[in-house]
Every structure is written in structure tokens, then in C-alpha cells.
Structure 1
Amino acid sequence: MPRPRSDDKRAAIMAAATRIIAVQGLGAATAAIAKEAGVSNGSLFTYFDTKADLLNQLYLELKGEMGAAALGGLPAGDARAQTLHVWSRWTDWATAHPHKRRALAQLQVSDEITASTHETAGRTMRGLGEVLERGRANGPMRDAPATLVFALCNALAEATIDYIINDPGGADEHKRSGFEALWRMIG
């Protein structure tokens, strides 16, 4: 009879995977993740069939958390106000959770993340895309491919987040400057 699964153990494995991947990269051994989580390596595979399964589930969890943080409390109103809200919440989440951000960045480009997982994550992030689409509807990038615009927005956010992390005393000013650059680009 299989052992019952514990939500707490699964959460510990996911948190450990986030920390280990952020520090050691995607090549980190599952044994290191299990040790960090305080479970046996065999127990890890009670929750995830393979390391690739763990990575795909972690990617979905982190994307979902980031998207929920960015869209949480989205105000009614104009596109600029909504885009500013998403920008602020996104940069706040990323600077508050540097290990999650670092692990997510590695997972984003991993060949282990399946096309199906990327599609599911895309659906999870749909609300974020809708806000950016409204923001660029009448702007200079309105006719550019959406994937290009989103990649540019992400690059600008990453640069802003890095700057905030390196100069936390100026975080509010950096966040504002980054948003103004974003809005000039799309709005």
C-alpha cells in the first residue's frame, strides 16, 4: 500500500528545490533537494515521478505565485494605472523572493520544461498579458508582435529588479523610473 502524501512534505520539497536550484542550478542532484527538504531521496519520488516532473511542477508553482502576486488587487481603471499596479507588484514579488526569481529564470529556459507546461503557465499568466495588451493598445508598440513586447517588458523588469536589489535604498525611485521607461515604450 503506497504511503499517504503530506502537503507539508510536498511544500518542503518545493521550497528546497527552489533554494537548491537558485544556488546550484538545474543540474543539482535530487538527493541535495531531498536533504534540504528533510526527506529521503525515495520520499521525493513519492511526490514526483522524475526530476523533470519536479522541475515542471516547480515552474508552474512559481509562475502561478508570481502571476497571482502581480495581479492581486488589480484596480479598476485605466490601462496605465493597471500596468503600474502589475509592475509594482511584480517587482515587489521578485525583490522579496530572490531565490524564487533566480530558480524561475533558470526553469524558464530549461529544456526539461515541456511545451505543455509552458502552455499551462501561459494560461496562468493570461491576466498579466491582458493588462499589457490594454497598455499598448494605442501606444507606439501596438503593431509589434506581442511576444516581442512581452520580452522587452520582461527585460526592463529584470534590469529594474537587479538595480533595486543592488541599491535597496533607492528602490522606490528605481521602480518608478523603470515603470516610466516601460510606459514610454508601450503606452
Structure 2
Amino acid sequence: MAKLQKSIEKRNALIKATIELVNNNGFHATPMSKIAKMANVSPATIYLYFENKQDLVNQTYVEVKAEYTKYAFETYDENMPIEKGFKLIWKRIADFKLKECESAMFLAQCDNTPMIDEISRQEGIKHLQPLLNLWARGKNEGIIKPISDYLLYAYAINPLSFLMISQKRGAITLDANHIEEAYEAAWSSIKVCK
């Protein structure tokens, strides 16, 4: 059992080092040797858990995406009214991005570059299914604009990454009023105007 725990700890250290180094240096400037050094393991140890650097980054992405969406949907009930459900999910996403900044920054980088392979990207999208289902229901009920889910995500969710990065840079300190204003702007961008 101690051996299994040690193995899990090494793999987790590699994931954590990958997130930190990719966030600080980018994908291409993060060699396996640096990841191993930061994780305090030999470079050969990486290959016990991952086929190569691409596999390490892909698996890190899928794990972080799963952690992110688990948090986002933890208190969501699919029977909630559309706006109430969206607000709850949106606020949980905002909370995650501001509290788990390193993980959120890693996801933002992955979402905006070709460093993740398509299979892993599709696996990550599956984790967003409750939000996609909510939007589909909202479109059917005439509450959400009948536009692509990519556009809905771009207007309603992606601005949170910009705000998170701006706060990390020290350009803004987000308070409860900012979060509420950002939510209202997100909701306004995707709801059908009546």
C-alpha cells in the first residue's frame, strides 16, 4: 500500500510541476528534464506514468478539466430553471478560476493553443455536458440565443479567464460587485432579449 501511495504522489508531483512550468514558461519551453527536476523525480520516472511529453500534457489537461467541471457542477441540479442554473454554474466557474488560479490558467492556455490533441480536447468537452445540456434546454425554451455553443462559451465563460489573468497581473482586484457585474454581462450576452 505504501508503494502505491508513493506512486500516486510521484504522478501528482509530475502533474503539479507540469501545470506550474507550462503556466510560467509555455509548452515548448518546458522540457521533460525540468518537469522531473521540479517534481523531484528522475527523468526516467516520467515514462512510468506517461508515454511522452504530449501524453503528460494531455492527461494533465483532462484531469484538470475534470476537477474544474466537478467543482462547477457540484451543486447544480438539472431541473433548475435556466437562468438560476446558469447563474449557479457561472458563479462556481468564477469561484474556481479565482481560487484555483494555477489550474485555471493552465486550462486557459490549453484552450487557446494547439498543444492539446483533439482526443483529449473532446474528452475535456464531455466534462462540460451539464452546461451544454442547460444551453440546449434554454435554446428549446426560447431563453438562450439559438447560436453555437462555442459562441455561447466565448461570450459567457471565456471573459472569466481574462478577468482572472488581469487580477493575477495586478491590473484589477475583483470584488463581489465586479463578479456580479461580470455575471450580468455574461447572462445578457446569451439570453434572448424580450
Aligned pairs for 1:1-150 (under 5 A) are 6-27=7-28, 28-75=30-77, 76-136=79-139, 137-139=141-143, 141-142=145-146, 144-150=147-153
Contact 2:97 2:164 in 1 (8 A): yes
Contact 1:70 1:93 in 2 (8 A): yes
Q: Partner amino acid for 2:178? A: H
Q: Tell me the residue number matched to 1:186.
A: 190
Q: Partner amino acid for 1:114? A: D
Q: Mean Cα displacement is larger for which, 150-159 or 79-88?
A: 150-159
Q: Mean Cα displacement is larger for which, 123-132 or 30-39?
A: 123-132
Q: Mean Cα displacement is larger for which, 72-81 or 31-40?
A: 72-81
Contact 1:160 1:175 in 2 (8 A): no
Matched-pair identity in %:
22
TM-score by length of 1: 0.87
Q: Mean Cα displacement is larger for which, 113-122 or 46-55?
A: 113-122
Separation in structure 2 between the aligned mates of residue 65 and residue 133 of structure 1, nearest angstrom: 23
Contact 1:163 1:174 in 2 (8 A): no
Contact 2:156 2:187 in 1 (8 A): no
Question: Aligned pair in 2 of structure 1 residues 59, 148: CA closer, same or farther (>3 Å)?
Answer: same
Q: Partner amino acid for 1:77? A: M
Q: Partner amino acid for 1:69? A: Y
Question: Structure 1 residue runs of 4+, over 4 Å off?
Answer: 162-166
RMSD: 2.2
Report the 3-state secondary structure (helix = DSSP H, G, I; strand = E; otherwise coil) of the residue aligned with 2:175: helix
Contact 2:156 2:186 in 1 (8 A): yes
CA-CA distance at 1:153 after TM superposition: 1.7
Contact 2:105 2:165 in 1 (8 A): no
Question: Aligned pair in 2 of structure 1 residues 146, 71: CA closer, same or farther (>3 Å)?
Answer: same
Q: Tell me the residue number matched to 1:176.
A: 180
Report the 3-state secondary structure (helix = DSSP H, G, I; strand = E; otherwise coil) of the residue aligned with 2:76: coil
Q: How many residues align?
A: 183
Question: Aligned pair in 2 of structure 1 residues 171, 10: CA closer, same or farther (>3 Å)?
Answer: same
Separation in structure 2 between the aligned mates of residue 185 and residue 134 of structure 1, nearest angstrom: 17
Separation in structure 2 between the aligned mates of residue 104 and residue 10 of structure 1, nearest angstrom: 19
